[in-house]
Amino acid sequence: MPRYRLLIEYDGRPFHGFQAQADLPSVQGSLERAVKKFCGEDLRVGAAGRTDTGVHATGQVVHVDLTKDWPAETVRNALNFHLMPDPVSVLSAEVAVGDWHSRFSATGRRYLYRILNRMSPPALDQGRVWHVKKPLDAQAMHEAAQVLVGHHDFTTFRDLACQAKSPMKTLDVANVRREGDEVLLEFASRSFLHRQVRSMTGTLAEVGVGRWTKADVEAALAARDRKACGPVAPAEGLYLTGVSYG
């Protein structure tokens, strides 16, 4: 039974997250329906990670186990045909080697958060950026973000509904930069806690508008208390941009 490794992108706005849910639209559900239409198989699509309602992806990785040995390009093209009109696209497909698994073989995940920082609201990027009117100091945000880099107890930045066994995570990258009217935040880690990126982003935005300092972020991390977290950034600005496999 061949396993196919698929690189996909999707607009998260119409979906209640990646994970399939009864009677609710999901990315996983769309993919599984496309597989059913393509080859008649009922199966569960595996994924490198589950994104929340409204979160987007430009580099999500999933896998499907098919009974027939199809050419990888056929799988990609057929799924894209049957995914229409849902905003999900299979960018590439290849036959997986050995016991590769989209989730358990992953060694890193990367996220991007987009903040539109101007007075006027977005017209073309509605639902794809977080609109913040107050001027943000991206350099101050970047300096404060370095407090979060390393191996820490991230309880403060962990959603109360998080099912991870431990709040201990190693954040490898936390970069903040400005590009025109956008402030971009990039995070990389082997894995993340539930809503960790959005929690860190919302807290760093408090630094950006001058309500918090780098020391406040450090104190919030040390508190290991969800109540010490700043406001949680909305889902629409978040993108899963890549998954690494070592």
Tell whether 100 is covered by a domain. Answer: no
User: Is there a catalytic annotation at residue 52?
Assistant: yes
- Phi/psi region, residue 89 (left: phi>0; alpha: psi -120 to 50; beta: rest), is beta
Q: Exactly one of 11, 23, 42, 52 is catalytic; which is it?
A: 52
Tell whether 11 is covered by a domain. Answer: yes
Per-residue pLDDT of the chain (246 residues; tens, 9 = 90+): 899 999 999 999 999 999 998 889 999 999 999 999 999 999 999 999 999 999 999 999 999 999 999 999 999 999 999 999 999 999 999 999 989 999 999 999 999 999 999 999 999 999 999 999 999 999 999 999 999 999 999 999 999 988 899 999 999 999 999 999 999 999 999 999 999 999 999 999 999 999 999 999 999 999 999 999 999 999 999 999 999 998
Q: What is the rounded distance in angstroms from the CA atom of residue 227 to the CA atom of residue 33?
A: 41
Three-state secondary structure call for residue 233: coil
The reply to whether 64 and 116 lie within a common domain is: no
Q: Domain range for residue 232? A: 107-245
The single residue listed with the structure tokens 């098919």 is 66
The reply to whether 162 and 89 lie within a common domain is: no
The reply to whether 140 and 202 lie within a common domain is: yes
pLDDT at site 163: 87
Task: Please give the C-alpha separations between residue 186 and each of 57, 75, 94, 109, 155, in angstroms, as whole numbers.
Answer: 14, 32, 28, 11, 20
pLDDT at site 1: 85
Question: What is the CATH classification number for the domain harbouring 22?
Answer: 3.30.70.580
Task: Work out the angle between the directed axes of helices 214-223 and 196-208 (0-180°, nearest 10).
Answer: 150
| Number of structural domains found in the chain | 2
Q: What is the total residue count of the chain?
A: 246
Give the end of a domain, one of 73, 95, 117: 95
pLDDT at site 22: 85
> Whole-model pTM?
0.96
Strands (DSSP E) contained in 66-122 are 88-95, 106-117
The two tokens of residue 140 are: 């101050």
Tell whether 81 is covered by a domain. Answer: yes
